[in-house]
Structures are given as structure tokens and as C-alpha cells.
Amino acid sequence: MKIVALDSSGLVASVAVLEDDTLIAEYTVNYKKTHSQTLLPMLAEIQRMTELDMDTVDAIAVAGGPGSFTGLRIGSATAKGLGLALDIPVIAVPTVDALAYNLYGFSGLICPIMDARRNQTYTGLYRFDEAGHFVVVKKACAVDIGEIISAVNEKEEPVVFLGDGVPVFSDTIREKITVPFSFAPSHLSRQRAGAVGALAFVYYSEGKYETAAAHRPDYLRLSQAERERAEKEKANV
Amino acid sequence: MKNDEIKILAIESSCDETAASVVVNGRDVRSNVISSQVPIHTLYGGVVPEIASRKHIERINQVIDEALKEAAMGLDEMDAIAVTYGPGLVGALLVGVAEAKAIAFARNIPLVGVHHIEGHISANYISAPELEPPFICLVVSGGHTHLVKVTDYGKYEIIGRTVDDAAGEAFDKVARAIGLGYPGGPKVEAKAKEGDPSAIAFPRAKVSDRPYDFSFSGLKSAVLNYMNGCTMKGETYNEADIAASFQAAVVGTLCDHAVMAIEEFGVDKFALAGGVASNGAFREAIKDACDQRNVKFYCPPPILCTDNAAMIGAAGYYSFISGRRDGWELNAVPGLKLGER
């Protein structure tokens, strides 16, 4: 089975091609956020270098959220277009799940933190059990940075943080954390489409995929207008 | 080329309509599918960009599938994919652009980026098979007010443009002020039918030194001031008279500019385009002005005036046959100018 994986959920743009247990190619750029101009050229470059016949691709994996709303839509619309044109399904992998999957084999808790602004983070808690299975301890959510640190402290075990929230929140973490902690090294600390694709194989085997038409990002947040409208309605009740 | 027919799949997502269409040889529309978000944005009194972007991504594949199905054609029969890449709401544009690029890449189909206003102008090629440049076109919508000389296919000279609000935007704002809601165009038009267009003398602004440019923000303010004035004096005002008088001021201004351009440039063809071209009073006024001067008048039907993808297919066709091809780095350009790339 062959999967094309995409992640444009944050500052990083990343594209990968995987076939069963093999990562054939991965292209990751953490430079400027111009995903609309870079994501498809990156796939085109991989296609050229690996002589990839798009008709042999079986599914498109995409970091399905949370993340930058616009970034997510560039990834999702690209996945949906590829899915429509090739008549293949889309596997949406939660962005933070894929981030955590970068740290396969770590023995403690894994806590991806993405900067969601306003002192909030897109995060979750994960671990690999003794058999090496990926376990979701706390699923993807948008919370205050203090809240996820408290949740980590309650577990009373070592934790590793990663993601673009690390430079933003490292001082807060150092100040509030009560368990042994570390930050992932640079080659593992950001979104990588290779991880999205590898986890997509697991999701696919569990039947977690959808049609390209049905796919949409999971933002974990309402738009500002919807939020304000809901608040106004609540106040009027 | 296959059977001398050039088939284009066109995609449009610049504002609040998700649209796809199959157009053959630029003028023969085989399908024109539009998924409108108007009911959602009505809740907010106008288009909310983030919500528009979210809705586009939920509907775009279904809309494209439907357009191909209705045209009874497959993707592999397409000679090009045309997509609106500006101007418009950046988040909304990006959905269509990313989708179009991915489809074109996966099936190895040429990609053509299309200017949204060029699409509106080209809607006239669909409704009037005999129409050819040169002609003058007045494009009036919720986001645009442009008086354009179309010198050839894909070649434009902008004669005048709005310096502030678009005409359609003024309709939306006035509709909100007199409690008619969104979308303002059709609601003001319906209300105006019950009112007296000469009841209130609203100003018809001119832009100094630039006779062809438009300004509508002063008119909108004049409507609000009139209403405030009435309220302060304890008088009631008549919404229908306001709607009729406001509409007469907008139509009058647009018409004056059109006539000035017809007389100065001596063209024998004049076309309307854009959502506001669906307004009956506006169409009639421009048609009368053209008839009086022996100028042939063109205006697409409402389904081609509103944002749609068939018009993008028409514009995309002329771009395609002139040799334009876009690469996988094509980006959404929210402030794209007409005639620029």
C-alpha cells in the first residue's frame, strides 16, 4: 500500500511518500509560511525524484488538525483534490498525534505543544506501551498552557515536550513543571509528514479513513464570529 | 486537440459561493454548479471570511463531482483546469487554488489561473455568442465597481474604479441600516419598488480630477445621516422611499459614467457584469441609455451575474488558447489587479 502524506498545519511544510514499512521520500521545510506556494511543488519534486506514478497511490494522509486554520485548509484542500482526482480515500491524522509519533520508543509521557496564541496550546498526551503500541492518554485539545502542565504533573512521571509551542512556552514549563522533563531534539521536534504517513497506516488498518469529499479539517475551535454569536445567544437566554 | 473542442473544468471560491463548471470552447456551458453560503452568512449580517473558508472546504469536492456528472464528462477529458486566484478573500481563494492544483497535478492537466473580474466580464461571452471585443464593460458587484475597456480577449484598460466602497457593498450597508438584512442587493431592489425614487435627494458623488472613478461611501453616510436626522427630529422615515432614492442615486451615478464612456470612446457595444447587474432598475437604465445612442447592450442572466464558475471557464478558455499556463506554485492573490499576473 502506498500513501502520500501532507502536513501544513503550522510553520513547517512537509510531504512524504510511504510504501508499507518503507519511507520512500520525505521533504520538510521549516522556513517561511508560504505553504500554498510550496506544498505542491514539494510533492512534484518528490514525484520526479522517485519516479512516482500517482495512479499507484492508494490513499492520501493529511495532518487533519489542530493547527493554523489556513494552513490546515491548504493541506486538506490538496488532499481532497488528490483524493478526488485519483478516486482514493483520505486518512486524517490529528496533528498532535503525528507529532507525538515522532518520538517512538520514548519510555515516558509525550506532550506535543503547538502555539495556539492567547496563551493557549493545541496539545495532547501520549505514550508507547511496553509492546510499542501508541497510546492516546489525553486526546488532541485546545487548552491553556497551565492546564496541560497540571495534567502532566498529576501523572508523576518523566515527560518530553515537542512542537512549535516549545520556544513560546518553555519558560512557563520550567516554572510550573514538577516532574522530570526534556525537550525533543531539533530533528524530531516539529511536524513531519513521515510520521503522519506512518501513523496513517495504523489508522487505516483500524478503518479510520474517509472519502475525499467527506474530509474536512478538525480545527478544535469555532471561528471567532461563531464563538461571539454563541456567547451572545447564551447571554440572551 | 480532441475533436476541436477545448473542455475546461473551472473552479471558483473567491467569496461565499463554492462553484464548479464545465465549459467547452469558452462559450458552451455544459454544467454550472453553485453551492451558495448566503443562508449561513445572513445570520451574521454579511460574509464572515473564516466561515466562508470552512464551508468551501466542506462542499468543494461535491460541487466539482456534480459539475463533471452534469456535463457527463470525466476528468481525463479536460484540456485544462481553470481556477480563480484573485481578487477575493484569501482564505476562500486558497481552498479553490489548492484543490485545483492538486487535481491538475494528479491527472497531469494544464492549470490556468483566472482573474475573478475577468470572469465576470467573460460571462457576457456565454450569454451573447456573437459578442467579441472591443467593448466597454461595467462590472458592479459586492466587492467591485470597475469601468473597463475590453480591447481584446484578455486585454483590459481600466477606465474607472471605486475609490472606496463597491456599489454592491453600499447596497448591503444601506439594507442593514434600514433593517432589510443580508444580502442587500435583492432586498433593497424589492423595497425600492414600493417607494418614490425622487423622495429624497441623496448625493451623487464625483471624484475630483478622475471623472470615471466612483465613490459610494458618502452616499451610504448620507442615508445614515438622513435617518439619524429624522430620528432626532422625532419624525418617522419611509424605508421604501429611502431604498428607492438610494437605488436611484447609485443607478444614476453608474449610468452617468457609462454614458460618458460611451460618448468619449465611441464604442458600439456596452456590457454589464457582476452581481449588481441582476438589479432590474440598473439594467433598464443602462439599456435605455444604450438604446438612445444606438449602442448594442449586453447583460448576462442573473445566474451568470452572481459568482459562478462558468464565467471562470469562459475567461480561462481565452487565457488557455493564448498560451497561459500556471505552475504548481500558483498562489491566491487577494488584491490581484485586472491585467496583472
- How high is the ipTM of this complex? 0.97
Please tell me whether residues A123 and A182 are part of one structural domain: yes
d(CA B44, CA B40): 8
CB contacts of B331 in chain A (<8 Å) are: 34, 36-37
Residues 6+ apart with CB under 8 A from B236: B230
Claim to verify: residue A11 and residue A90 sit in the same structural domain: yes
Peptide bond connecting B183 to the previous residue in cis, omega within 30 degrees of 0: yes
Contacts A219 to B, Cβ<8 Å: 54
Interface touch B105/A73, C-beta < 8 Å = no
Mutate to test the interface with A, among B101, B108, B182, B326 (most CBs of A within 10 A): B101
Q: What are phi and psi of A148, to 5 degrees?
A: -75, -35
> Where in the sequence is the domain holding A113, given as residue range(s)?
103-188
* A231, part of any domain: no
Nearest residue of A to residue B62, measured between CA atoms: A213
C-alpha span between B56 and B94 (Å, rounded):
10
The answer to whether residue A152 sits within a structural domain is yes
How far apart, in whole angstroms, are the C-alpha atoms of residue B101 and residue B322?
20
Q: Dump pLDDT digits (tens) for A105-136.
A: 999 999 999 999 989 999 999 999 999 999 99
Angstroms from B95 CA to nearest CA on chain A: 6
- Answer yes or no: do A225 and B53 touch at CB < 8 A: no
Domains of chain B: 2-123+305-321 (3.30.420.40), 133-300 (3.30.420.40)
pLDDT at B3: 63
pLDDT at residue B340, rounded to an integer: 73
- B329 with A69: Cβ contact below 8 A: no
B61 neighbourhood in chain A, CB within 8 Å: 80, 83-84, 212-213
Q: Are strands A59-63 and A90-93 parallel, antiparallel or unpaired?
A: parallel
Residues of A in contact with B74 (CB under 8 A): none
Mean residue pLDDT of chain B comes to 95
**Average pLDDT over every residue of B307-324:** 98
Task: Report the SS3 class of residue A111.
Answer: strand
Residues A184 and A113 in one domain: yes
A77/B48 touch (CB, cutoff 8 Å), yes or no: no
**A79 and A125 together in one domain:** no
pLDDT for the residue numbered B1 = 47
Are A150 and A138 in the same domain?
yes
Q: Quick one: which of B278, B59, B174, B98 has its CA closest to A215?
A: B59
Query: Which among B54, B102, B332 has the least Cβ separation from residue A78?
Result: B102
Q: Which of B50, B65, B102 sits opposite A224 (nearest CB)?
A: B50
Tally the domains of chain A.
2
Cβ separation B99–A77 shorter than 8 A? yes
CA B56, CA A74: separation in Å to the nearest integer? 12
N-term to C-term CA, chain B: 26
Which is nearest to B101 in space by CA: B123, B116, B84?
A: B84
Q: Which residues in chain A have Cβ-Cβ distances shorter than 8 Å to B43?
A: 229
Same domain flag for A60 and A116: no
User: What distance in Å separates residue B17's CA from the closest CA in chain A?
Assistant: 16
Rounded to whole angstroms, the Cα distance separating B42 from B181 reads 7
Interchain CB contacts (distance < 8 Å): A and B: 109
**Binary contact (A216, B57; C-beta < 8 A):** yes
The reported pLDDT for the residue numbered B76 is 96
Query: Order of strands across the sheet with A120-128?
Result: A134-144, A120-128, A109-115, A159-162, A181-183
Same domain, A125 and A182: yes
Is position A228 within any domain? no
- The amino acid present at B310, given as its one-letter code, is A
Same domain, A140 and A183: yes
| A200 and A88, same domain (yes or no) | yes
pTM of the model: 0.96
User: Among B50, B96, B106, whose Cβ lies nearest the Cβ of A86?
Assistant: B106
For residues B26 and B209, the model is more confident at: B26
pLDDT at position A235 is 86
Classify residue A210: in a domain, yes or no: yes
Query: Is A230 part of any domain?
Result: no
Residue A81 lies in a domain: yes
Which residues of B fall within a CB distance of 8 Å from A85? 75, 102-103, 105-107
pLDDT in tens, chain A (237 residues): 999 999 999 999 999 999 999 999 999 999 987 899 999 999 999 999 999 999 999 999 999 999 999 999 999 999 999 999 999 999 999 999 999 999 999 999 999 999 999 899 999 999 999 999 999 999 999 999 999 999 999 999 999 999 999 999 999 999 999 999 999 999 999 999 999 999 999 999 999 999 999 999 999 999 999 999 999 888 886
Instruction: Output the domain CATH number for residue A31.
Output: 3.30.420.40
Which of B90, B99, B108 has the highest number of chain A CBs within 10 A, making it the mutation to test binding with A? Answer: B99
CB contact under 8 A, A41 and B329: yes
The verdict on residue A90 lying in a domain is yes
Tell me if A150 is assigned to some domain.
yes
Contacts of B330 in chain A (CB under 8 A): 37
Closest partner residue to B102 among A69, A85, A217, by Cβ?
A85
Q: Are B110 and B304 in contact (CB under 8 A)?
A: no
- The nearest alpha carbon in chain B to A83 belongs to B103
Q: Are residues A120 and A171 in the same domain?
A: yes
List chain A residues with CB under 8 Å of B106.
54, 81-82, 85-86
User: Do A84 and A46 share a structural domain?
Assistant: yes
The reply to whether A126 and A140 lie within a common domain is yes
Using an 8 Å CB-CB cutoff, list residues of chain A that contact chain B: 34, 36-41, 43-44, 54, 69-70, 73-74, 76-86, 212-213, 216-217, 219, 223-226, 229
Q: Is residue B179 within 8 Å of residue B238, measured between CB atoms?
A: no
State which H helix or E strand residue A182 sits in. Answer: strand A181-183
Q: Determine, for residues B102 and A36 on separate chains, whether the beta-carbon distance falls below 8 Å.
A: no
